[in-house]
Amino acid sequence: MPVADTSFCIDLMRKDPGAIRLYEHYEHAGQRLSTTGITALELYKGAFCSADARNFEKSQEVLRLFTVIPVDGQVYEAYGRLAAVLYRKGRSLGVFDEVIAAIALCTDQEIITRDRHFEKVPGLGIISY
């Protein structure tokens, strides 16, 4: 089950045609997508920072479309290892995106995103739209 990055979830909320087509592709194939607890945090932060009160409800609606993968002990270690490698190479993504990448790697899943910086992560499969 591919892991949806925050950018994909936001694009679904904004009704981006490419994001909707990709989501519908998986839905028609009977394949449920996942996202991360980190993406949930980012969506709620955006909703509460937004001047549009509807963004809270939109965040809740989009999160219902996914299985939310929690952060656990396996992710802690994978994140630490990945963040150190990227830091040493001068290719850091930022903490939240590195945790999202670590979750995808731990679950052996590709990440659905429009953010090209995930290409810096060794071994991470990327699904673009």
Region 35-42: mean pLDDT is 96
Tokens of 112: 């659905």
Domain of residue 26, CATH code: 3.40.50.1010
Distance, CA of 31 to CA of 112 (rounded, Å): 14
pLDDT in tens, 84-125: 999 999 999 999 999 999 999 999 999 999 999 999 999 999
> Domain range spanning residue 54?
3-127
- Helix, strand counts (H, E) of the chain: 6, 5
Identity of the amino acid at 118: F
Strands 111-112 and 67-69, bridge-based pairing: unpaired
Identify the DSSP state of 129: -
Q: Which residue in 81, 122, 119 sits closest to 5, CA to CA?
A: 119
Domain total of the chain:
1
